[in-house]
Amino acid sequence: MHSAIEANFDGLVGPTHNYSGLSFGNVASENNSANPSNPKAAAKQGLVKMKALADLGFVQGVLAPHERPHLPTLRALGFTGSDQQVLAQALKQAPKVLAAVSSASCMWTANAATVSPSADTLDGRVHFTPANLVNKFHRSIEHPVTGRILQATFPDPERFAHHAALPSVDHFGDEGAANHTRFCSDYGSQGVELFVYGMSAFNTSLPRPQRYPARHTLEASQAVARKHDLSPEHAVFVQQNPEAIDAGVFHNDVIAVGNGNVHFYHEKAFLDTAQMRADLLRSWGERDTPLHFVEVPDAVVSVSDCVQSYLFNSQLLSRANGDMTLIVPGEVQQNERVWSYLQELLAQNTPIQDVQVFDLKQSMSNGGGPACLRLRVALTPSELAAVNPATLMNEQLFDTLNQWVEKHYRDRLVEADLADPNLLQESRQALDELTQILQLGSLYDFQQI
Ligand SMILES: N=C(N)NCCC[C@H](NC(=O)CCC(=O)O)C(=O)O
């Protein structure tokens, strides 16, 4: 029998991966600011996870990184002259701006877009809306190229609908799939799409975080649901707990994860947990399979342990036998309280029956765990056949990309290196080759010249 599957498309870490403390409200990003990074190790750690999932039988894709440093943005901000002069001036006059246009943050593809599978949309196509990521300057420049990469990866307009990002303004702050989860009995049937927002832009009577920004608004979520033509009874909107945001939960995927008929979340994740459960159950309706809620009590695992370990920033994956596997970062194993909770969870009678640990330290040090690194796309067999095949992970692509990383990437980068014109050249050469490996066509600005 042919049935729909859920593919994971991971962001390949770009050659300028570095720690610049750019994300106020993201504790790891702030804590590791100015530490040296290792782009080569970062890219390889990501590839190991992708390959392991492909080996387990999951469909695994790769989304290309963006061109960084992004010279067109520096020029738009008034820096002039040769590329070398632009970089030198930026380092001298505005080093944080240079760091922002050099960030490899597109690796966290959970923020690339919101995706609605064809079973949920009125026209029966898979819908993509790149996230405007407007709350952080370094991320707000991602969406135009993200849109091009998604089009080159999912090219068939009969099956894939690509929307433009929402207006780039705080009122429509959109962080993509990091705040979106889909529940379903199987990937090919009508799902329930859960949109989680940090605040309402226009309804100021709703609570807001006090310390850190709420990056994602209710109004953005509603706009995406409209654009994707979801049936209103299968779209649920829930507010994040502002206290969780103030404790460092800058995206909901740091404190909750859903898959199939399971919602695994922390007691303090949502402003009104009872309402979240009631709304999801109403939308779920009468089905053969029950919707499971696995709620982790604050007394057992605190919010600060969630932020430190990234327990919930895990990938919850359905195995062929119906059980689910949780893909967690090494930090979960290193936190005694969290690890012992997980052992108890595995012994309970829930669909979550297996845990696998991955070393993603390079990404984790910027606040990006396993779930941040992937964009989920549920696909029917004919949609999967229409995906650009060169982007799908297998033995050969794994070897090719490892060699490509080995050839082009540095193993140490600090902020001052970002103005090195050789780094720009190395990155462009690497990406030029990558567009051939992944058969993406010419999508970068430097390739248009
Ligand atoms: N939770 C999900 N889905 N994604 C995690 C994104 C991490 C990213 N960090 C950064 O952008 C740090 C970059 C720096 O500081 O150099 C962010 O805050 O947007």
Catalytic residue among 162, 216, 251, 266: 251
Tokens of 223: 């706009």
Domain assignment of residue 206, yes or no: yes
Count how many domains the chain has: 1
Instruction: Give the percent of the chain with pLDDT over 90.
Output: 98
87 has pLDDT over 90:
yes
Domain assignment of residue 83, yes or no: no
Domain assignment of residue 98, yes or no: no
Domain assignment of residue 81, yes or no: no
Give pLDDT, residue 2. Answer: 60
In this structure, the strands spanning 113-116 and 60-63 are: unpaired
Structural domain for 60, as ranges: 10-68+103-447
Phi, psi at 171, each rounded to 5°: -55, -30
205 has pLDDT over 50:
yes
Give pLDDT, residue 1. Answer: 46
Q: What is the mean pLDDT of residues 2-9?
A: 92
- Let me know the angle formed at the C-alpha of 344 by 260 and 333, rounded to the nearest 5 degrees: 85
At 285 the three-state DSSP class reads coil
Q: What is the mean pLDDT of residues 392-406?
A: 98
Q: Can you tell me the distance from the alpha carbon of 283 to that of 281, in angstroms, rounded to the nearest whole number?
A: 5
Clarify whether 372 is annotated catalytic. Answer: yes
Q: Where are the alpha helices (DSSP H) in 3-162?
A: 27-31, 39-55, 71-76, 83-93, 95-102, 137-140, 143-153
Residue carrying the six token digits 């001298």: 92
61 has pLDDT over 60:
yes
At 293 the three-state DSSP class reads strand
- Let me know the angle formed at the C-alpha of 377 by 56 and 257, rounded to the nearest 5 degrees: 75
**Mean residue pLDDT across the chain:** 97
Domain assignment of residue 352, yes or no: yes
Pocket of ligand 1 (CB under 6 A): 19-23, 26, 29, 103, 105, 108, 110-111, 136, 139, 178, 250-251, 253-254, 366-368, 372
Domain assignment of residue 74, yes or no: no
Question: pLDDT tens across 119-159, in order?
Answer: 999 999 999 999 999 999 999 999 999 999 999 999 999 99
Q: What is the mean pLDDT of residues 393-402?
A: 98
Question: pLDDT tens across 291-337, in order?
Answer: 999 999 999 999 999 999 999 999 999 999 989 999 999 999 999 99
CATH number of the domain that 168 lies in? 3.75.10.20
Q: Where are the alpha helices (DSSP H) in 348-377?
A: 361-364
Banded pLDDT at 375 (limits 50, 70, 90): very high
Domain assignment of residue 430, yes or no: yes
User: 413: which DSSP letter?
Assistant: B
Domain assignment of residue 130, yes or no: yes
Clarify whether 175 is annotated catalytic. Answer: yes
Banded pLDDT at 449 (limits 50, 70, 90): low
